Each structure stands twice: as structure tokens, then as C-alpha cells.
Structure 1
Amino acid sequence: MPAGISIRHLARFSLLLIILAYGNDTLGNEKQSAEKAIRTPGEIIAQAPADEWRQVRAENLLILELPGGPVMIELADQFAPGHTKNLRLLAAHGFYDGLAMYRVIDGFVAQGGDQAGERDTGQGRRTIPAEFTTAGIAAEDFTALPGPDGYAPQAGFSGGFPAAREPKTGKTWMTHCYGAVAMAREQSPDSGGTDFYIVIGPAQRYLDRNTTVFGRVISGMSAVQQLARGSKAGGVLEDPETNRIEQARIASQLRETERPQVHVMRTDSASFRELIRARSHRPEDWFQYRPDHVDVCAVGVPVRVQASEG
């Protein structure tokens, strides 16, 4: 026995080692139990109760008929009420019918509207004030993601839409995730109003707060991806007619039997919060390394679409 160490001290030291070993083992078991408690994303979505889904209102559902099929876009009144109102007026007037998705850049955006700038807008407006951010969304209506975000103090979800927020000012905005729908503009912030674009590539978060995001594609991105890519400068098509918008209608314009029934998982629900944890931790057995982090654009908000009866 080394000099200076009594049997009593040695016994205490051995007991301490046992306690530490037991504590580490307990923590490890608790961590493993927590990991097993997280269901897979597929299980969460399939088992989410009916009251954790909301039906998209007919007046907020824009349906574009493209060559590859219908594209359903949910309009976000809470983020950009001026833009959603203008879109409804333009669609009711038939403004987009026969126009085209005339600028398509692979991995970036697909832009459509009145390329010539000559079509009558009816009661709609050709330009409207920008709505880059809103102060109208309360903190309790924002489901924040844990961890940092590279483009905002806080990222998360509100009302079914991926968003970001400044807690100090209360300003909130929609993020440029895949499928985001935003208003194109020229140099002036208030120069947009009719021509829109859809993000068709990886998240373009550097565009956040530079254009007004007013909705997201909730069904039909495959039809958007089938659009011909432009070969002229800026991704403009030689023949925009290739990407013709056959019709653009708000679902409320259709007969009830013709309206698709679309449900979106509530982003303030327990199931969605569990989905965030699952996307972060990746509980599937296939994963050997789990990052315990997730980006706002990597958590898709689940959607269920029931075809119309008519």
C-alpha cells in the first residue's frame, strides 16, 4: 500500500468509483431509453390523432394547372395578407390563365407570371407594398427549433409554415425552404405584385427578408420539377409556352365537389414536436451517428390530400 493512504481512505475511494460507474451506467440506460421512446417519423405521422391535423381553407388553396399536373399552394395570410389578397383577386380574374413559368433555373427557382407586363389585372394590382416580415405573430404561436440557426436568431414553425423570428423585436418571416412561394421583384422592394417564384432546389435562405414569401407548395412539386429549364440569360426560356399555366384558381372558386380536401399537421401539436425530435435525433436503427440537430428546412410539415369528388 502506498505511504500515506490508509485502508479507510482506500475504501472510500473504491466506493466513489462504484458510485461513479453506477451513475454513468444509469445515465447511459436513461439515454438509451429516451432514444427508444422516440418513434420514427413515419410512425408519428401515421399515428397522429385527427385533432392534430387542420384542414386548409378553400380560400387559402391556390391550384395551378401545369403541363405536369396540378400544383397546390397554401397561401399564408398571417405572414403576407396583402399578397394573398392580391393573389385571390388575380386568380379570380383569370390573370394567370395561359401565362407561363417563363424563368426556370435548375436547383434554384421556377418563376411565372406576366413576362411582358401587359395583361389586365382586373381588381388586382400589379405592384403592392412588400411584406418581408410581420409583427403580428405572437411568441406562443411560434414553435421554435432547439439549437442555432445561421440566418436568424430563431427558426421554427408557425401556422404550418417554416419560419424564422427575432425574439427581441417580435418580427417573424417565412423562410426560403424547398417549395416556398414568393413574389419576384425588381430593384425597389415594392415593385412586386404579380410574378411569383417557387424554390425548386436546396434552401435559398439568403433570400429571406429580401422578397415576400406568401405560401408554400403542399402538393405537386413533381409537376414543378418537370418544367423545362431556361437556356437564355437569367434562366429565361426560349419558348415559355412549353411551361404554360393552363389555369390558376383558388379552391373557393370551384364547386364544393371539385375542391380537394387537404389537411396539414398542426405545427403547434404534440405530434409535430415529436416529429422535430425524431428528425433531429434520427431514431431509425440504420443510423450509426446521430447529429441531434435539425435545420428548419429539413422538417417537412406533413400533408394529407384527398382528391375531389367531381
Structure 2
Amino acid sequence: MKKSIALLILLLTALANAGEPRPPSQVIAEAPAAHWRRAAPENTLYLELENGRVIIELAEQLAPGHVANIKALTHERFYDGLSVYRVIEGFVAQGGDMDGNKPVGEGKRTIPAEFSRKNIPAKQFTPLPGPDGYAPQTGFVHGFPAARDPKTGDTWLVHCNGAFAMAREQSIDSGGTEFYAVIGPAQRYLDRNTTVFGRVLEGMEILQQLERGNQAGGVLENPDNNRIVRMRVAADLPDKEREEFEVLKTDSSSFRELIAARSNRPEDWFVARPDYVDVCSVGIPTRRAN
């Protein structure tokens, strides 16, 4: 009953001035310009692979240490010539310095984990109605799928498809250089076990084209087959080499309407309407800027 009431309130709020319920595609297409934000070049990475560019937005508010460190490593060209050496079908693509032999400069090889943050105000969190199997509450914050514990005030990013995170060894604070992206279904059991600090805006098809590992743990026999040509921070490149993206603001009324539309599809085609949507199924609309 509580779930139905919460969803009804969400739907009524989103559609108060919109007339009849609109399907998700229409909500996205008709979202006003003020409901979109530009992805900041200083927090956007370009992972250049042999078969194309993967564009990643970094979540500075949720994992400032990891964002600062990967930008420092990128500035010193640490990832250039390395590889995406561990690729497991339906799971993750992991890249970096497999042997741990490449020297680092200003960037650190290991940094403290940032599994969650306590300084994110509840009002900045757009919650989803209904239960979740992995967290007391799920929703969106600063344009990223996230979870929250209202009792402790902890907020963390979750492992949806396209999540960009830092791999680690047994020690909690052993990560720092070896990134990975989720290339299959949501891997929510990893939440708060590694630090998620970004998401792929464009280029998932490039990651999907990578050669899969054929050794233990999904490691490639020849990692150079998935060579990283270079990694760059978008802000460091000339304007002509940048690609500008806009992301629908997750605290906008358009996004709240999108949540309601995804939860209970209004199109006539649907016979069964589940009255539910999970955090990884809403999708955060992203488009190229004009």
C-alpha cells in the first residue's frame, strides 16, 4: 500500500501540469532546455581505444579522491599504451597497469576507498518509490544512479550497466589505478565493495567490442589486443577535439515524470504494468549538445 501511495504521489506531482501521462520517449524529447545540464569538460574522460572513443563522466561530488587521482594519472599520460587486460562477458572490462610496473608521478598507485559519502544532503537525492534488495533507498544524485541509507546519511553510487569504478585487491585501500566498467547487467552486489566514481556517457558499444579474456579471471593472453591508445581529460583538449554532451538533470520535474512513466508505462500497447522500476532500469538520458 505504501509503495502504491508513494508512486501515485510521484506520478501526480510529475504530471500536475502536463495533462495526460506521456510515454518516456516523449518526456525526454520534450524536456525543456533548463532541465538539461552540460557534462563538465574538467570531469569528462576520453578513453581512446583502437576501435573508438569511450566517454566517461566523473562523479566528483561522490568520490573526489578517485576523480582527482585518475585525472592526475591521465595528465601524466599514465594510461597511454596500457591495455584493457581483463574482460569478462556480461560482467566488466578492466584496464590499467596489469603488472604494476609503470611508474607513477603525481598520481597515486593506491588511495583510500570512497565507498560512500556522508556530505550529500537528502534534498539533493531524487528517490525511487518501492523496495530495493541492496539498499534502504535508491534514486539519483548529481546525474548518477545511487543509493542512500537515511539512518546513517550515507550515499553511494551503484553498479548499473556503464558504471565506472576502481578495482582493488584484498585490502580496502588497495585501489588507485585499475579502473573497470560494467559491460553487462547490473552488478549490485559489488556496491560499497569498490568505489564507483563515474559512468559511461557514450561508447558502450566500443567496450563491448573488446576481446574477451581466455585465462583465469578473464585476463587476456595478449592484453595488447585491447590496447589503450590514450586517455585524456576533455578540458585538456582543443575545442575542435571535444565532444559536448548534455545530461537530463535528475532533480528536474522532467526526470521525475520519466521515473513515473518508466514505473507504470502509459502507452496503450502495455497490458501488464508492473507499478515498479529499479534504479538501473530508469536510464539517465544523455544527448550530444547542439
TM tier relative to shorter chain:
over 0.9
The alpha-carbon deviation at position 123 of structure 1 amounts to 0.6
Q: Which residue among 132, 148, 156 is the counterpart of 2:131?
A: 148
What is the CA RMSD across the aligned residues, in angstroms? 1.6
The alpha-carbon deviation at position 67 of structure 1 amounts to 2.2
The question of whether the paired residues in 2 share the 8 Å contact of 1:67 and 1:223 is answered with: no
The alpha-carbon deviation at position 257 of structure 1 amounts to 2.6
The alpha-carbon deviation at position 228 of structure 1 amounts to 0.5
Q: Aligned to 2:55, what secondary structure does the other structure show?
A: strand
5 Å-filtered alignment, 1:236-255, equals: 236-255=219-238
The question of whether the paired residues in 2 share the 8 Å contact of 1:176 and 1:204 is answered with: yes
Q: Which residue among 195, 212, 216 is the counterpart of 2:199?
A: 216
Residues 1:90 and 2:73 are matched in the alignment:
yes
Q: Aligned to 2:228, what secondary structure does the other structure show?
A: coil
5 Å-filtered alignment, 1:27-46, equals: 37-46=20-29
Amino acid corresponding to residue 160 of structure 1 in structure 2 = G
The question of whether the paired residues in 2 share the 8 Å contact of 1:143 and 1:157 is answered with: yes
Partner of 1:232: 215
Partner of 1:163: 146
Bigger-Rg structure (1/2): 1
Q: Distance in 2 between matches of 1:200 and 1:261?
A: 23
TM-score under structure 2 normalisation?
Answer: 0.93
Partner of 2:3: none
Partner of 1:61: 44
The alpha-carbon deviation at position 164 of structure 1 amounts to 0.1
Q: Aligned to 1:246, what secondary structure does the other structure show?
A: strand
Partner of 2:162: 179
5 Å-filtered alignment, 1:115-134, equals: 115-134=98-117
Q: Aligned to 1:37, what secondary structure does the other structure show?
A: coil
The question of whether the paired residues in 2 share the 8 Å contact of 1:96 and 1:245 is answered with: yes
TM-score under structure 1 normalisation?
Answer: 0.87
Deviations 1:166-217 (A, max 9, x none): 0011100000000001100000000000001100111000000000000000
The alpha-carbon deviation at position 283 of structure 1 amounts to 1.5
Identical aligned residues as a percent: 63
Partner of 1:102: 85
Instruction: For structure 1, list consecutive stretches of 5 or more residues without a partner in the other structure.
Output: 1-29
Deviations 1:281-300 (A, max 9, x none): 01122211000100000011
The question of whether the paired residues in 2 share the 8 Å contact of 1:38 and 1:277 is answered with: no
Q: Which has the higher helix share?
A: 1
Q: Which residue among 48, 59, 77 is the counterpart of 2:31?
A: 48
Q: Distance in 1 between matches of 2:203 and 2:211?
A: 16
Q: Aligned to 2:174, what secondary structure does the other structure show?
A: coil
Q: Which residue among 263, 269, 276 is the counterpart of 1:280?
A: 263
Moved over 4 A (4+): none
Aligned residues: 276
Q: Distance in 1 between matches of 2:195 and 2:135?
A: 16
Amino acid corresponding to residue 199 of structure 2 in structure 1 = R
Structure of greater relative contact order (alpha carbons < 8 Å, 6+ residues apart): 2
Q: Distance in 2 between matches of 1:100 and 1:258?
A: 23
Instruction: For structure 2, list consecutive stretches of 5 or more residues without a partner in the other structure.
Output: 1-11
